A and B are shown apart, each in its own frame.
Chain A
Amino acid sequence: MKIEISKEDFNKSLHRLGDEYRIYAPVAMAYKGTFSDTDSIRYKEINTLDEIEFNLKSHFSPKEVILPITQVLFYFTEDQYKEPETEKKKLLVFLRACDIHAVKRMDQIYLENGQRDPYYQEVRDTVKFVLIGCEKSYRNCFCVSMGTNKTEDYSLGIKPVGDQVLLDIKDEELNAYFFGEEKDFEMNYVTSNDIKVLIPEPHQIAKDIAEAPLWREYDERCVACGKCNFVCSTCTCFRMQDIFYKDNENNGERRRVWASCQVDGYTDMAGGHSFRKRHGDRMRYKVLHKVYDYNKRFGYHMCVGCGRCDDACPQYISFSTCVNKLHDLGKEER
């Protein structure tokens, strides 16, 4: 059902939803940006519409809401593991089309690749998505090339217009919260980005692509900070970490923490073996995963074209440029 309601009524509805849901949305955190006098747009719990940053792309993805940066898997004593109490409230997350597509990628790994991940499943069972349509394309976005600029997969679509809010309610459960006049409208989505990416067809990726000279540029340029992975809405790697409490060393937590394939130590095994020592090889590992290897396994590309990796890179490395280089290389070799 598509309706129009006033901001005021919308906020009242949000307030009522708050009894049952934790509501997360992109929020501008003043002066927290990378450069002086800039904001950082990150996901935070909100109570009212005005807190939501609708006009800018979030620097971090909503991934951190459903797949926490640090998540306690167990509390342990010397001889016992105990699961943490689970969150009672459901989740309502405001996000853009590319990020909804990214959730499908997270589902693929955490629910379909091997056994189901119980922690992720539990969050996923309770989360509903609110689509923020994109009025315009942002810097470094290439969602149109990835086919992720549009989605129908949401519970609620939101389009603020002046003092009014247009809502596309797809989830019956939410009908009970929002009351307004029926009004037809279309959700915004972009149909063109400044950046266009051509993805090489699988047969255009040479068997010895790892040897291609294009990766060597990144040996020096990439500083292996891992920012691209942490802002990526589709990166899902984690590492296990046991910590113990200072006041009682026999008690502690087993946690999982986001991991980056670009950062030193990712492949280190006990005994000293490691792989991909050169930063360019790590770049290759990441790029090929996003536009080649993942597709080979699951039948669609991992990258959703949000461009956050390019936004975040302190060395101005462009992922989209790299993919286009790969495409050109494939053409040459044919």
Chain B
Amino acid sequence: MIDTNVYMPIKSNIMEIIQHTDVEYTFRMAYKGEVKPGQFFEVSIPKYGECPISVSGIGEEFIDFTIRRVGKVTDELHKFKVGDIFFIRGPYGNGFHMDDYKNKEVIIVAGGSGLAPVKGIIDIIHQQPKDYEGFNLLVGFKSPDDILFKEELKIWNEDLKLILTVDGAKEDYRGKVGLVTQYVDDIIIKNMDNVAIIIVGPPMMMKFTVEAFLKRGVACENIWVSYERKMHCGIGKCGHCRMDDTYICLDGPVFNFSKAKHLYD
């Protein structure tokens, strides 16, 4: 038989489920092993299939997946309860290299579920703020009903420089309204040469947010993005995630923008 089958998933127990919105839950899964923020797993349920999900939290004995109910696998996943099992294989992808951001003014801009892959970085910076020259977090959601990680955002709002905005809301909403790009100029950058800007979200949001920072004079080399593409294997075989000569699953999903700007679909 096959010695090491890279497609063989392992069983993982659901330790906790946190509901963020009607369609977005975080599943805390039993897992021991090294995982970096920005990496992803192939999550599967027999007969429904597999899908790539990035880790949104990393602990000694667990990993978190924040999963929106939008497809065949995720529809089924949302029926699962604490104690149930599903299957995972990974971690895959390069993830964020925290050394790239040390002693820099870190700015994270996340749109919607793009907050999940960067949450691990926020956790690390939150715990060791002295390792970084500064930290700003700019997060946007579609509406107040779509806000993820409400508890964490409350804590981050007290400890960190946070701008939370929604694209649109009813008149009585008291928070900030508008796209994240509107708030890019509100972030104070002390030294343009010493910033590390991480942008993750839907394709259009990333495009325009990157442009806004470039316009402010930030160099491409100081911007990182994480790309989401269809993936069937996660290990450079199925071909679906390829952009020109780059496999998002192997070489990404995290890219410095000096590389990412040349990628095309």
Are A269 and B229 within 8 A (Cβ)?
Answer: yes
**Which B residue sits closest to A121, measured CB to CB?**
B2
**Which B residue sits closest to A289, measured CB to CB?**
B242
Are A273 and B203 within 8 A (Cβ)?
Answer: yes
Which interface class (under 10, 10 to 19, 20 to 34, 35 or more) fits A?
35 or more
Shortest distance from the beta carbon of B218 to any chain A beta carbon, whole Å:
22
Are A242 and B236 within 8 A (Cβ)?
Answer: no
Are A76 and B49 within 8 A (Cβ)?
Answer: no
Are A239 and B47 within 8 A (Cβ)?
Answer: no
Does B176 lie at the interface of the complex (its beta carbon under 8 Å from any beta carbon of A)? no
**Which A residue sits closest to B42, measured CB to CB?**
A240
> Quick one: CB contact mask for A65-80 with B, threshold 8 Å, 1 for yes?
0000000011011110
Are B239 and A86 within 8 A (Cβ)?
Answer: no
Shortest distance from the beta carbon of A11 to any chain B beta carbon, whole Å:
35
B:74-125 near A, CB below 8 Å: 74, 85, 87
Does B20 lie at the interface of the complex (its beta carbon under 8 Å from any beta carbon of A)? no
Are B240 and A210 within 8 A (Cβ)?
Answer: no
Are A113 and B245 within 8 A (Cβ)?
Answer: no
Q: Which of A74, A115, A267, A273 contacts B8 (CB 8 A)?
A: A74
Give the residues in chain B near A266, CB-CB below 8 Å: 230, 240
Which interface class (under 10, 10 to 19, 20 to 34, 35 or more) fits B?
35 or more
Give the residues in chain B near A236, CB-CB below 8 Å: 237, 239
Does B233 lie at the interface of the complex (its beta carbon under 8 Å from any beta carbon of A)? yes
**Which B residue sits closest to A207, measured CB to CB?**
B262
**Which B residue sits closest to A296, measured CB to CB?**
B245
**Quick one: given A118-B4, A237-B238, are A254 and B230 in contact (CB under 8 Å)?**
no
Are B5 and A118 within 8 A (Cβ)?
Answer: yes
> Quick one: CB contact mask for B201-229 with A, threshold 8 Å, 1 for yes?
01100000000000000000000000011
Are A76 and B46 within 8 A (Cβ)?
Answer: yes
Are B5 and A238 within 8 A (Cβ)?
Answer: no
Are A270 and B74 within 8 A (Cβ)?
Answer: yes
Give the residues in chain B near A207, CB-CB below 8 Å: 262
Give the residues in chain A near B203, CB-CB below 8 Å: 273
Of listed B2, B44, B46, B244, residue having the most chain A CB within 10 A: B46
Give the residues in chain A near B265, CB-CB below 8 Å: 267, 275-276, 281, 285
Interface residues of B (CB under 8 A from A): 1-9, 11, 44, 46-51, 68, 70-74, 85, 87, 202-203, 228-230, 232-233, 235-240, 242, 244-247, 249-250, 262, 264-265
**Pairs of residues from A and B, 3 with the lowest C-beta to C-beta distance, nearest first:** A114-B236, A270-B71, A237-B239
A-B contact sample (14 more), CB < 8 A, given A242-B48, A259-B240: A74-B8, A78-B46, A83-B8, A114-B250, A115-B6, A118-B2, A118-B7, A240-B232, A242-B47, A244-B47, A259-B238, A270-B74, A285-B265, A293-B242
